[in-house]
Chain A
Amino acid sequence: MFGRMNRRYDTVVVGGGPAGMGAALGALDAGAGKVLVLERDGEAGGILNQCIHAGFGLQYFREELTGPEYAERFLAQVIDRDIDVMPSSYVTGLAVDSEGTKQVRVLNERAGLASIEAASVVLAMGCRERTRGSIRIPGTRPAGVLTAGLAQKLVNQKGYLPGKRVAILGSGDIGLIMARRLTLEGAEVVGVFELMPYSNGLNRNVVQCLDDYDIPMHLSTTVVEIHGRDRLEAITVAPVDAHLQPQLDKARKVPCDTLLLSIGLIPDNELARQIGIQLDPVTGGPVVSSTLETSLPGVFACGNVLHVHDVVDYVTAESLRAGGFAGEWSREIRRPKDSIQLVPGNNVRYCVPHTLSPDREHTVFMRVKQRVEPARLRVGGLMEKTLRFVIPAEMISLKIQPEMLDRFHGDRLTIDIDPA
């Protein structure tokens, strides 16, 4: 239950979002006796608590829930199963002793700076948003330029508008959802500006968040300058050419008092980096084996800290698996070492996990570099599949059966996604 914490656990989960809660359940299902979830915020649920819109849980709960509903239902299961959940607990470090026992260092106002022992650890710290600095928009630095996620928190949890006349840079789902949210609350959304020639958000969100409210989406357009001394007064936008370079002769000024940035998410991996876990420079998350184990034995990762997912159901599925393997680890069950390296080939930006083993079924998540319509997905010479279309914003999930890997004798399996 809330607030109880021992000194030793079989599995400790860092982060109490959907990934963390899923991992905890997975660990318990795999036979871990005592499981602890450490959450930095005052309550579990992660980013779902601020995502008040519907669209979660179609696969896991078989109905369309809002973020808080998904979180609350999930948490009820977790508590029901006697998993310890410690909110307001910030994990500041992780060490492994000579016996392989993990020491999780956690900061909590009542427990102080405590050290907790665990046989296995699951990293589930989620992600953060890309900011203005990461795309370097020239101009002044007034108030009123903020990430879409921060705006979401201000509106949904604090009950304040970030501004009255809002422009949105980037067509990620959070930005699209905020366009509708702000409109419903009486703000004027002047437009969404997207660098790429296609939306980065789901089509359904373009329809129900923009089209329904006559909010224009300007594709192949970007913000090239920010104006205003104290508060944002306007932005200059310009169309981009085929090389994504702004055409400044076609620039125009758009008056607005707020600019939301919805330009992508990055795994929040400070902790992993600190303890020397190997990271994949493409995903920004740890390199993991088919058991979702990181380069540090007995430390697993799942959810947005591993790679950014678009829907929470994928997060849940992945974290149940990661938790399962972490639970097994705590019971000293060791799986055979993976023998196959998974290699992103043509038009594949990344695939997770990074290695496979022929002894069981795998779910591989991947993203493409470029939009292709229709597309042919090939896994080595083993299988082929036609997809209606692929875009970078939508993760592809692929099941690989053990029978298939049995037929494979190499050690590198390449995945290509080419035009069909």
Chain B
Amino acid sequence: MRDATTCDVAIIGGGIVGCMIARELSRYRLKVVLVEKEAEVGFGTTKTNSGIIHPGHHTTLDTLKGRLVVKGNQLYDTLQAELGFGFRRIGELVVARTEEEVGVLREMEELAHQKGVPVEMWDQARLRREEPNLSRELIAALFAPTAGVINPYELAFATIESAVLNGVELWVDALVTAIDPVDGGLRVTTRDGELTAHTVVNAAGVFSDRVAAMVGADTFRILPRKGEEYMLDGRLKGLVRRLVFPVPNKVSKGTLIIPTYDGTIMVGPTAIDTDDRHDVSTSPEGARQIFDLVRGLCPSISERDTISEFAGLRAASDTGDFIIGRTAVPGFYNAAGIQSPGLTAAPAIALYLIQQMGEDGLALVEKERWEPQVEHPVRFAQRSVEEQRALVEADPAHGRVVCRCELVTEAEVRAAIAHGARTVDGVKFRTRTGMGRCQGGFCTTRVMELLQEELDIPFHSLTKRGGGSWMVTPMGEEA
């Protein structure tokens, strides 16, 4: 338990939204604490999504999300230069099969012009030349070059690292259980101690209505919508080079082909309403839906190539839009209902919210020194042979391979732990250990040994992702 403490701003929830707000606030002379219920940040919806930085022409201008998405997209180049997460603008194609669908593309083109999103109409010949493995039945496509793919967990880790570097305090394993108005602000009770804050930001994702209810600011409800995603074998790398969406309609539900930042092809997501806020299970129906649809776009994709699968929950609100800003409770702000494209919009959400907080009197005095950069993680596998040679020379731990499927070195794993990884998944999402085709069969024990060594905790106390996710138990005589 931590000692009770006070701060200017408490942020509840360490998803990408909470992390971005924390980092933006770290520019100012404020004491900011971010509280997260999981063992690490980004373990909610932020690590289980499609990882697309949307160009912004799928949503109209009359919603908050429709406006913030375009702004968010534009902020990503600077962010990447500062934070060094995996991000690349690979471009997006919305593909049409019929003349009627081409009509929809034209409407999207029009909307894109209105919103200032660059797009280009491709005919069949161009489409075949650029993406020869797509179905021969497709007749046209709308190309949007500003669409990007990102490793969202890397983004969350780097963002919080930057925030912490600039003075933000991070509490993990700190589930917020109550918020009460007290003298001088709001008292936030967590599993790891109490904290009194002048201003509280609710960025609790699918639980944001529950958190709002703790102070009676629950003017909305979250209706979680599940999305399943399927990762395909690395052998298929390069099959499709851009994001490929079918023309949006009732059946497609946003399912698409995603050549992820690391090149692995992913297909998904589904969109299924659920009332269980922990339900991140995958289902045979989900798989069927996705693969049926995707085969129509790219016939050589098969379910048999799946190497892993996961599901995430979109925090869709009953208003249908993002819920960002002040509430009836003084000092309590929402950044709630951040469903898709929340990842894209997150940097813009932070700016939008902080502006309001400033208008309401939060003193936004810039620090003399604010460090935008964090040390960028070294990805051994992505380096040239010459660079690899130099890396091993400088640090022999680069000469010891931990994960052979993804060629991750011991130096990378140690660095990940030094930069905040505390769990097996924390290492995995920072370095890719266990993400390849053997799914950790070879490297899990080594990763655990390194965690044990660096964090000085017993082997059997290590977890997959915190909480009750224990990995091993001692044998008889030691139990």
- A residues bordering B, Cβ < 8 Å? 40, 88, 90, 92-93, 105, 107-113, 128-129, 131-134, 136, 138-143, 146-147, 149-150, 153-155, 157-164, 185-186, 225-226, 229-231, 270, 273
Contact = CB atoms under 8 A, between A and B. Distances in A.
A286 B438 CA distance: 19
Nearest to B472: A160
B463 A112 contact: no
B175 to A, nearest CB: 13
A112 B475 contact: no
Contacts of B397: 109
B459 interface: yes
Interface of B: 231, 235, 278, 280-284, 286-287, 303, 306-310, 385, 388-389, 392-393, 396-401, 404-405, 407, 437-442, 444-445, 459-460, 463-476
A134 B441 contact: no
Contacts of A40: 401, 404
13 contacts: A88-B400, A107-B392, A107-B401, A131-B439, A133-B439, A138-B284, A138-B287, A160-B459, A160-B460, A162-B473, A230-B464, A230-B465, A230-B467
Given A110-B399, A112-B392, A141-B280, 4 more contacts: A112-B393, A163-B472, A164-B473, A185-B475
B473 A163 contact: yes
A154 B310 contact: no
Nearest to A224: B284
A138 B283 contact: yes
A112 B441 contact: no
A90 B401 contact: yes
B475 A159 contact: yes
Contacts of B396: 109-110
Q: Which of A143, A154, A229 has the most CB of B within 10 A?
A: A143
B468 A113 contact: no
B472 A147 contact: no
Nearest to A246: B284
A108 B476 contact: no
A167 B441 CA distance: 18
Given A109-B396, A230-B465, A128 B438 contact: yes
Contacts of B281: 138-140, 225-226
A308 to B, nearest CB: 15
A154 B441 contact: no
Query: Which of A138, A142, A162, A226 has the most chain B CB atoms closer than 10 A to its own CB?
Result: A138
Contact of B306 (A133, A161, A225): A133
Contact of B441 (A90, A113, A129, A159): A129
B445 A131 contact: no
Nearest to A185: B475
A138 B283 CA distance: 5
Contact of B468 (A153, A154, A163, A231): A231
* Residue from B307, B405, B469, B472 whose CB has the most chain A CB atoms within 10 Å: B472
B470 A231 contact: yes
A242 to B, nearest CB: 19
B473 A105 contact: no
A128 B437 contact: yes
Contacts of B392: 107, 109, 112-113
Top 3 closest A-B pairs, CB basis? A109-B399, A143-B464, A230-B468
Contacts of A109: 392, 396-400
B399 A161 contact: no
Q: What's the dominant secondary structure at chain B's contact region?
A: mixed
Nearest to A158: B445
Contacts of A159: 475
Contacts of B400: 88, 109
Contacts of B282: 136, 138-139
A150 B444 contact: yes
B464 A107 contact: no
Contacts of B404: 40, 90, 270
A230 B425 CA distance: 12
A225 B469 CA distance: 18
Contacts of B474: 160-161
Contacts of A131: 307-308, 437-439, 441
Contacts of A138: 281-284, 286-287
A156 to B, nearest CB: 11
Contacts of B476: 185-186
B464 to A, nearest CB: 4
A185 B475 CA distance: 7
Contacts of B472: 154, 158, 160-163
Contacts of B470: 143, 231
A136 B306 contact: yes
A132 B469 contact: no
A154 B445 contact: yes
A143 B463 CA distance: 8
A150 B445 contact: yes
A229 to B, nearest CB: 5
Most buried by A among B438, B444, B467, B474: B438
A111 B470 CA distance: 38
Nearest to A150: B441
A141 B235 contact: no
Given A133-B439, A136-B309, A230 B469 contact: yes
B370 to A, nearest CB: 37
Contacts of A128: 437-438, 441-442
A92 B440 CA distance: 19
B441 A149 contact: yes
Given A108-B399, A140-B280, A147-B441, A113 B307 contact: no
Nearest to B232: A133
A220 B465 CA distance: 34
Contacts of A163: 472-473
Nearest to A149: B441
Contacts of B308: 131-133
Contacts of B287: 136, 138
A160 B385 contact: no
B471 A186 contact: no
A312 B31 CA distance: 63
B349 to A, nearest CB: 28
A162 B393 CA distance: 37
A411 to B, nearest CB: 32
Nearest to B279: A140
Contacts of A149: 441
Given A131-B439, A158-B459, A92 B235 contact: no
B401 A132 contact: no
A225 B280 CA distance: 13
B469 A113 contact: no
Contacts of A129: 438, 441
A258 B451 CA distance: 22
Given A133-B308, A229-B278, A113 B475 contact: no
A271 B389 CA distance: 19
Contacts of B310: 141
Which of B306, B441, B475 counts the most chain A CB atoms within 10 A? Answer: B441
Contacts of A155: 475
A93 B474 CA distance: 39
Q: Which of B280, B405, B442 has the largest count of A CB atoms less than 10 A from its CB?
A: B442
A315 to B, nearest CB: 19
B469 A161 contact: no
